Amino acid sequence: MTTIKEIARLAGVSAATVSNVLNGKPGAASPEKRNEILGLAKKLNYTVNVFARRLQKGKSNTIGIITEDLTVFNTPDIVDGIYEYCSEKGYEAILENMRLYKKFGSNFIDSPAHHGLIGKTVKNLLEKQVEGIVYVGYHCHDISYIPRSLPVPFVYAYCYSGNRLLPSVLMDDRKAGYDVTALLIQQNHRNIGVICGPLSSYSTQQRLAGYREALLNHNIQYNDKNVVFGDWEKGSGYELAPVLLKSGVTAVFAFNDLMAGGVVDWCRDHGFRPGVDVSIFGFDNREVSRFYNPQISTVEIPLLGIGRRAIEIVLDTGASGENGTIMLPCMVHERASSKR
């Protein structure tokens, strides 16, 4: 690797002059010298060593991203949003992928081992002089990890610190639950079934709260027979569909697209026409929802926005909303599985 020194030697000037010329300082050298230096740099394929530069400048212009698992479906878009904002602001991003899901499955979350791993990862990032960190969860869960005496801003994205000690950016699950329910009510459904995820899930709780709120606001009696709990997998949608449909619901709101797909299947296997006899809603706007037949109505999570907002807070140390938690609105997509 060619260095400034070498160019200086060949051009017969000092390293300082080369540095100045290469950095475009006006009047750093005579036109001839300037050209000579530039020519040498090109010929020798000179590349600055950004780390030497940063060391000297005392500023890294870099932030760190920690992902729980890059291969879980929502993560890349969040990361993408972070990168997007960074490049707009002239920042670099370093990505640390913990590969949690692949390595440990779901039970690992918020365990001491998990906290330990985060600590190690944070330290690693800190050694690289990052000026802030965004932590990207692979689903919305509570995470009580608090880095001890963190010298840089730290924001959770797509997960949250239940103890509210660190800012988080999430989608507004409650509002989404409300919106879908209100939409179905507006379409004259009075008996709306819900297939939740496990009750322990934050998203389940929030969406369910939104559902109840919408019923209340429209003077519809809440009926707990209409609320059942699945496990986010397609199979549970298939199994729970009859429970709801036999008790007379005219619409089913499943809390993810996979379970909604299960409902669609059950309907078709048993003579109910999705989108005609029964309206079906999913959640997540996964690829499968648009691909399915019929296409499944769903709710899009503002992933890019979550990423952008999180890094925005980190960099601008900006307004962090009430309780340090920011909720971004989701977008409802009506498709054939629910259109009337």
Partner DNA sequence: ATGAAAGCGCTAACAA
Partner DNA sequence: TTGTTAGCGCTTTCAT
Q: Quick one: which of 149, 104, 127, 152 has its CA closest to 135?
A: 152
Contact status, residue 77 vs residue 83, Cβ threshold 8 Å: no
Which residues are CB-neighbours of 318 under 8 A, at least 6 positions away? 312
Distance CA(204)–CA(236), nearest Å, equals: 15
Q: Which does 15 bind (CB under 5 to 8 A by kind): a second copy, DNA, none?
A: DNA
DSSP string, 240-308: HHHHHHHTT-SEEEESSHHHHHHHHHHHHHTT--BTTTBEEE-SB--HHHHHSSSPPBEEE--HHHHHH
CA distances for 213 relative to 116, 179, 221, 322, angstroms: 39, 10, 11, 21
Alpha-carbon span 177 to 229, nearest angstrom = 15
- Residues at the contact surface with a second copy, assessed by CB under 8 A: 1, 45, 47-52, 54-55, 60, 70-71, 73, 75-77, 79-80, 83-84, 93-95, 97, 99, 102, 123, 126-129, 149, 151, 234, 258, 261, 265, 268, 286-288, 291-293
Instruction: Identify what 111 binds: a second copy, DNA, none; CB under 5 to 8 Å per kind.
Output: none
Of 28 and 100, the one with the shorter C-beta distance to DNA is: 28
Q: Which residues pair with 168 in a beta bridge?
A: 156, 325
73 binds, among a second copy, DNA, none (CB under 5 to 8 A by kind): a second copy
Residue closer to DNA by CB (options 52, 150) is 52
Least Cβ distance, residue 88 to a second copy (angstroms): 12
Q: Is 90 in the site for DNA (CB under 7 A)?
A: no
94 binds, among DNA, a second copy, none (CB under 5 to 8 A by kind): a second copy
Of the ranges 30-38, 87-95, 137-145, 289-297, which one interacts with DNA (CB under 7 A)? 30-38
Residues 58-77 that bind DNA (CB under 7 A): 58
Which one of DNA, a second copy, none interacts with residue 291, CB within 5 to 8 A by kind? a second copy
Smallest distance, Å, CB 206 to a second copy?
A: 25
Sole residue written with tokens 């569909």? 241
